[in-house]
């Protein structure tokens, strides 16, 4: 039994000392992956981090605010291209990243307006339209997409004599931590509460003084900020941008990650991102079977555990907490 002595203490991030120690250990271990893990997997791990940022963003929208978007690829593209252009004119990495997030966030805020009127599948189609339109704009407007040759993005230079892979990993990991931490903070704030309220009963939320417009638009803006940053990281990762990289199947990947990981769960989003990145890679040698196994994995996860991987994780945690007595 742990006693909470003050309300301030209750608001802390990880309250129990043991939990905090384990968390730090895990975080440090992940940070040191370049020094103990197989080198070949480093880029794949970076891909997980950059995906996780986007999936968390998507989950804030679907899982917390209860709004659906099939247009994530559009925000991804806006983030990636903004980042690319900023980097090319010499803007430093962090600022370019913020610019990418900002541009995507602005787009998200605008796309949010239909969400004030549309629900469920109808909203999904409207956002799908946004994704398609964004794709077509980048595919057809040459000064945006860099024309035939595409947009080449200057690579990150590694300091302190680190290998570039290592440096990219560390930078991506740090950004991932920043955004994950922020997501935890947001969902435990007044805003997170308002999102859940709007999701559970928008009429009641409105009657309690929550502005639906403001809350939903913020959800879209923040979610697309995350997605935009994820797109920027993707751009840096690829070093080269072409509109084809942001088609509808990219949106679907995010969607699957959210559901497989678990709705309304930040840690679930991380599992989900790892799932969509790592499972196809692990199954890589099976070739034709990749989609089949990927699909079966989705089916079995959902049939066995509708709360997604996060639900599985929760059960495991519960099991170990009660372990000697069970």
Q: Which residues inside 83-122 make contact with other proteins, applying CB under 8 A?
A: 114, 117-119, 121-122
Position 316 contacts other proteins (CB under 8 A): no
List the one residue from 88, 106, 125, 156 that touches other proteins (CB under 8 A): 125
Helix (H, G, I), strand (E, B) or coil at 156: coil
Least distance to other proteins from the beta carbon of 100, Å? 16
173-212 positions binding other proteins, by CB under 8 A: 182, 185-186, 188-194, 196-197, 200-201, 203-212
**Residue 124: CB atoms within 10 Å:** 17
List the one residue from 83, 226, 255, 313 that touches other proteins (CB under 8 A): 255
List the one residue from 243, 254, 266, 309 that touches other proteins (CB under 8 A): 243
Position 37 contacts other proteins (CB under 8 A): no
Position 158 contacts other proteins (CB under 8 A): no
List the one residue from 285, 321, 324, 326 that touches other proteins (CB under 8 A): 285
Closest to other proteins by CB, 177 or 290:
290
Position 315 contacts other proteins (CB under 8 A): no
Q: What angle is formed at CA 255 by the lines to CA 253 and CA 260, rounded to 5 degrees?
A: 95
Does residue 26 contact residue 15 with C-beta atoms inside 8 Å? no
Position 244 contacts other proteins (CB under 8 A): yes
Q: Would you give the binding string for other proteins spanning residues 135-154, x where CB under 8 A is met? A: -xx-xx------xxxx-x--
Q: What are phi and psi of 241, to 5 degrees?
A: -115, 135
The span from the CA of 35 to the CA of 170, in Å, is 11
Position 163 contacts other proteins (CB under 8 A): yes
Least distance to other proteins from the beta carbon of 264, Å? 8
Alpha carbon 264 to chain centroid, angstroms: 12
For residue 174, what are the CA distances in angstroms to 171, 297, 309?
5, 30, 24
DSSP string computed for 175-228: HHHHHHHHHHHHHTSHHHHHHHHHHH-HHHHHHTT--HHHHHHHHHHHHHHHHH
Position 2 contacts other proteins (CB under 8 A): no
């Amino acid at each position: 039994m742990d006693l909470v002595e003050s309300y301030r203490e209750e608001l802390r991030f990880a309250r129990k000392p043991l939990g905090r120690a384990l968390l730090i250990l895990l975080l440090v271990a992940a940070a040191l992956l370049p020094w103990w893990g197989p080198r070949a997997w480093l880029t794949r791990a970076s891909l997980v981090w950059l995906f996780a940022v986007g999936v968390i963003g998507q989950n804030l929208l679907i899982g917390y605010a209860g709004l659906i978007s099939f247009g994530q690829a559009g925000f991804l593209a806006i983030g990636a291209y903004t980042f690319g252009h900023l980097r090319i004119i010499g803007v430093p990495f962090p600022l370019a990243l913020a610019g990418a997030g900002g541009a995507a966030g602005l787009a998200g805020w605008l796309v949010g307006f239909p969400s004030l009127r549309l629900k469920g599948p109808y909203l999904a189609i409207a956002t799908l339209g946004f994704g398609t339109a964004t794709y077509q704009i980048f595919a057809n407007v040459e000064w945006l997409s860099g024309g035939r040759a595409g947009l080449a993005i200057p690579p990150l230079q590694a300091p302190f004599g680190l290998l570039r892979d290592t440096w990219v990993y560390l930078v991506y990991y740090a950004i991932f931590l920043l955004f994950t931490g922020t997501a935890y903070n947001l969902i435990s704030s007044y805003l997170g509460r308002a999102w859940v309220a709007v999701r559970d009963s928008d009429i009641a939320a409105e009657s309690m003084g929550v502005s639906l417009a403001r809350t939903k638009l913020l959800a879209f803006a923040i979610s697309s900020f995350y997605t935009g940053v994820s797109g920027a990281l993707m751009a840096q990762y690829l070093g080269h941008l072409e509109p084809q990289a942001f088609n509808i199947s990219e949106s679907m990947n995010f969607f699957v990650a959210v559901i497989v990981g678990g709705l309304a769960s930040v840690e679930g989003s991380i599992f989900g991102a790892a799932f969509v990145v790592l499972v196809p890679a692990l199954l890589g040698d099976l070739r034709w079977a990749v989609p089949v196994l990927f699909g079966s994995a989705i089916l079995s996860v959902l049939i066995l555990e509708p709360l997604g991987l996060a639900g599985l994780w929760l059960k495991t945690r519960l099991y170990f907490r009660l372990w000697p007595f069970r």
